[in-house]
Structure 1
Amino acid sequence: MSERVQNRSAGQSPGTKAERRLAAQLAAKKAAEAKRRRQSILGAFVGVLAVAGLIAGIVWKNSGDDDKPANTAAQASASAAPSAEPTAPPAPQLPADIDPALKTKPAVEAGKGELTKLTVTTLVKGKGPAVKAGQNITTNYVGVFYKDGKEFDASWNNGQPATFPIGVGQVIPGWDKGLVGVPVGSRVQLDIPADLAYGNDASGGRPAGPLRFVVDVLAAQ
């Protein structure tokens, strides 16, 4: 009985070792294959990263080159831009045959003494037709206070002449009465007492008291 058991155990032992050896070989083979797969995947990943880095570098270089002309153009435009210094308003458009004196803003001084009536003084006599009541006239003008010569209004400061109907009550009476009959192309000085101007009440921002205007009659129609 013991011999049979001993022989059976001896007969099973080689088979068990062979199985273990085969299992060990299979495990080693699987491990080697897994290692090769990992190395292959890692190599491919590294290659993809290298290609991506190369492409990114090319794109960055090209985008930088594209920006250079724009930046250069912007710098050139900025350097060529005029300075933002204040400039005088442009001169108004005047008739071609206008007297040269009417192309510049006149200096207007204060009046002397008491002003009791409308006084029209011709400074430059124009060669055009006389202004008629009901016409629209185009003028440049400077308005100052008669007593101190302080300017309160001037079309020259706006850079363009003013156009309005004359002789029909659309302006102060001193203008309606003083400019009708003046030849186009003239420069006249109007000394206007308060009752023919805005009165003596300074409320509402209107100039009060007697006034002096120097008016250039540029057109009438």
Structure 2
Amino acid sequence: MIAWSEIIIRLTLAAFLGALVGLERERKDWAAGLRTHMMVCVGSSLVMLVSTYGFEDILGTHNVVLDPSRIAAQVISGIGFIGAGTILFLRQGIVRGLTTASGLWTVAAIGLATGGGMYFAASIATLLALCILWLMQPFEKKIGNRFRRRSLKIVVTGDNATGTLEKILHLTISESSNCLIEKTDSGDLSVSVEMKSLQGAGQAALISALQAMPGVKEVGFQR
């Protein structure tokens, strides 16, 4: 049987490594923060200990053969229900929480490695996870902003709203991929155009041209 001191070391290290990743998520005020990541990591570490050493008393019994990975393997699939709870579908094309869900999955794997005594692998995985979550974020934003599409909302009012709408579509058609036209409660026409990423002078010129059209009541980008 594994020594008590080794059990304490493995579970404590799992809590510490899970806390490191959890602190990064806590910094952004996510629902799955410090305590959630610590619990997942400690729990998966304990599962690994049980899976590996929990049945030593019956090993060697006639016709008894055990696979030490059978229980630990269920952590990888079972963590999915927690990860699914952190994913939010806000609207078409906008999903939040995927990074937190993948972080929980990684923390579970770190816990399994710690429970299995693979301290170096668990520590390196924690370091890489922190680099991906923290250090890579500015780089991701810089690259992502170049390709991110934004929704431009234009509200048209007046008797010639249909004619103005045709001019708007003609002006934005080359820079758009989707267009949604709705009628507001006040009778105005609301046009939501999903735009390609326009930067600097191109974006300012387009907005100025739209604002100069007769009947255009509002122009602005939606989050």
**TM-score range relative to shorter protein:** under 0.3
Q: Please give the TM-score of this superposition, normalised by the length of structure 1.
A: 0.27
Structure number with larger C-alpha Rg: 1
| Larger helix percent | 2
